[in-house]
Structure 1
Amino acid sequence: MTFAALGLIDPLLCNLQALGYSSATPIQTQAIPAVLKGRDLLASAQTGTGKTAGFALPLLQILLQQGPKLASNSTRALVLVPTRELAEQLLQSFQRYGKSLPLRSYAVYGGVSINPQMMALRKGVDVLIATPGRLLDLYRQNAIKFGQLQMLVLDEADRMLDLGFADELDQVVCALPNRRQTLMFSATFTAPIRQLADDLLRDPLILDISPRNSAATSVEQWLVPVDKKRKGDLLLQLLRQQPGAQALVFVNTRKGVEQLVQRLESEGLSADAIHGDRPQPARLRALARLKAGEIQILVATDVAARGLDIHQLPLVVNFDLPINAEDYIHRIGRSGRAGSSGQAVSLVSADEVRQLAAIETLTQQLLERREQPEFSPEHRVPETRIGGQLVKKPKKPKKPKQGGKNKVHLGTWFEEN
């Protein structure tokens, strides 16, 4: 379906045409008209299917067509996100979609000085994208007011709860006007998220565009069993099989990220890192270097699992399987975006089999195992099956005990009344 058929105005259509957007995705086709009608929304769709445009485009149109003049230190639309990277990504999207429109968008998050953010908010912003912690800091200092708020968007709300933002979300919501339009978008919805939706949304339209917790079909997935100590060597071999191809490699710990970057650079490969201990400017610079083709490999913790939109990223590698199975879906969703295809390979050692079983149960599919003969593990990765259970080898029956030398079998004793 064309975007014009969804009821979008000409300025937005011109911007979409300039960006090369020809037709709407399923999530956009259903979400945009509903948002324009003022409905609350709970929408679930796979990563890379255009969720951002599904709420950003109608939000911009509503703000352009209605509402009083923006007051100082005020905002008319608030978008809450779990990570700094996602905040920056959404800000860029709003600026592209709303190019030449008389609307201001801005992003606030921790890890950088708060003073420039307070200065930027003095004139007010139409769309404010924020992480909950920094937003509360600004609110407590009267740098942001919510009297003119019309719309609230929670993007990747499940991740916000995973990161422990539940209390902060409650505090933010309590500060907002009760009369507002609320939208919730994510690739995965757990039971706590659906409870949050019940508390926040009024008669919402529920959209399940794709099977719940399903992985992107545009991404080819497989795993390679390998001993933990040989993962680095296997990664090097996989990267050298695709010379020049860029890759996003996920590691569970910050220390592990730094160690892997050093290993890759010592082998002559260009790499950079993103993790929670790095200053925000360094994290943004690392991402920009990958997008510009200055580096081949970006190694990251799960702070990069959401919000990174890298055009035609061919390969995602799970050097470590994620602790939370839902993060697997978001990790591999960094590849195969916007109609392109991608690959996702997981390097799995024997001690990660329970994480593997949880992922396969969540996605309802067994990952294909591709053995690398020269990396056959000493510690075998047990077979798994849907349901999170491990396939165990049947135990050998025990042999009956034989009477020892010079021992007499006395038979079965019983008491007779």
Structure 2
Amino acid sequence: MKLKKINEKLSKALAENGIETPNEIQKDCFSTLKSGADAVVIMPKGGGKSTTIVYTVIQKLEKAVGESTRALIIVQDKEAVLEMVDTFKRFAHYTNLRVFGSHDKGDIDYDKNQISLGVDVLIGTPNRINAMFSSAGFNMNTVKMFVIDDADELFKLRMDAIVLRLSNSVEKTQRLFFAEDLTERVEALADKIMIEPYLFGVDDYEDEEDYED
């Protein structure tokens, strides 16, 4: 994939999956997301939202480290969890990153045991992630990337309260929202939990302009 300073093995894996040319939003946001800044990324349906999340996380984490979760990705439902886990398997083919998915229909005790063995990337539904991290033994402060996919849809379902609670449990992390629409709820929570976030994918803003300007 032709992005500036993208990891060569990641670029190779993307190309092997038919992804070689980034769209305009992907080109605009790559450097900012890679830098660790907070951001809200608005992409239309079919615009590569999940793809962008996955390759950004792989680019940032690079390899397995320690036992604790470093990237937490919250998605809408079981199907979204399974799809994103599969995407990670394909794009992270040349890394040893450990990726695990957890959803409301799975066995929570089994999931806890698997995570305790060591996971770099944890993908899950809001209620399941909230339930697991409310239990003893999980440290949210190891999370370096806190990513919400389909933020507009999740917040419409009143999941913003859970996201806020989880976010408040992390002392220092990169917070990223991905959505199809920039809704009032998305804007409100971004203002509340993010530090000078950037906004991408909305015509009314200049690319990489400070969100609060």
Give the TM-score taking structure 1 as reference length. Answer: 0.47
- Answer whether contact 2:101 2:124 (CA < 8 A) is retained: yes
Whether contact under 8 Å (2:2, 2:20) holds in the other structure is no
Q: Could you say if the C-alpha distance between residues 6 and 201 of structure 1 is closer, same or farther in structure 2, counting changes exceeding 3 Å?
A: same
Match in the other structure for 2:41:
43
Which residue of the partner structure matches residue 20 of structure 2?
22
SS in 2 for 1:121: helix
Corresponding residue SS for 2:122: strand
State the partner residue of 1:154.
148
Does structure 2 conserve the Cα–Cα contact (< 8 Å) formed by 1:46 and 1:210? no
Please, which runs of 5 or more residues in structure 2 have no aligned partner? 206-213
Deviation at 1:58, TM superposition (A): 2.2
Deviation at 1:96, TM superposition (A): 1.2
Residues 31 and 55 of structure 1 are in contact (CA less than 8 Å); yes or no, is this contact kept in structure 2? no
Greater length-normalized contact order (CA 8 Å, ≥ 6 residues apart): 2
Q: Summarize the Cα distance change of 1:25–1:209 in structure 2 as closer, same or farther, 3 Å threshold.
A: farther
- Partners of 2:57 and 2:4 lie apart in 1 by 13
CA displacement, residues 96-141 of structure 1 (integer Å, 9 cap, x when unaligned): 1111301011111102221221121112211111111111221232
Cα distance in 1 for residues equivalent to 2:36 and 2:189: 20
2:135 counterpart of 1:141 = yes
More helix by share: 2
TM-score between the two structures when normalised by the length of structure 2: 0.88
Aligned to 2:8: 10
Number of matched residues?
Answer: 205
From 66, 70, 89, the counterpart of 1:70: 66
Q: 1:160 to 1:143 in 2, by over 3 A?
A: farther
Give yes or no for contact 1:26–1:209 (8 Å, CA) kept in 2. no
Corresponding residue for residue 177 of structure 2: 184
In 1, the alpha carbon distance for the partners of 2:203 and 2:51 equals: 17
* Pairing 1:3-402 to 2, within 5 Å after superposition: 3-64=1-62, 69-71=65-67, 74-142=68-136, 144-177=138-171, 179-209=172-202
Once residues 176 and 169 of structure 1 are traced to their aligned partners in structure 2, the CA distance between those partners, rounded to angstroms, is 11
Structure with bigger gyration radius? 1
> 2 CA distance for matches of 1:165 and 1:145?
21
Q: Structure 2: how far apart are the matches of 1:202 and 1:27?
A: 21
The 1:16–1:209 alpha-carbon spacing in structure 2 relative to 1, beyond 3 Å, is farther
* 1:263-288 alpha-carbon deviations (Å, 9 max, x no partner): xxxxxxxxxxxxxxxxxxxxxxxxxx
Q: Distance in 2 between matches of 1:24 and 1:167?
A: 33
Letter in 2 for 1:34: T
2:141 alignment partner, SS class:
coil
Match of 1:6, SS? Answer: coil
- In 1, Cα distance between the equivalents of 2:159 and 2:13? 35
Q: Which amino acid counterpart does residue 69 of structure 1 have in structure 2?
A: V
CA distance in 2, matches of 1:184, 1:164: 15
Q: CA deviation at 1:210?
A: 6.3
Instruction: Say which SS state the counterpart of residue 120 (structure 2) adopts.
Output: strand
Q: Which runs of 5+ in 1 are unaligned?
A: 213-417
Secondary structure in 2 matching 1:125:
coil
* Letter of the structure 2 residue corresponding to residue 174 of structure 1: N
Partner Cα distance (1:167, 1:40) in 2: 19
- One-letter amino acid matched to 1:100: Y
**Matched letter for residue 35 of structure 1:** L
2-structure distance, mates of 1:143, 1:187:
35
SS class of match (2:167) = helix
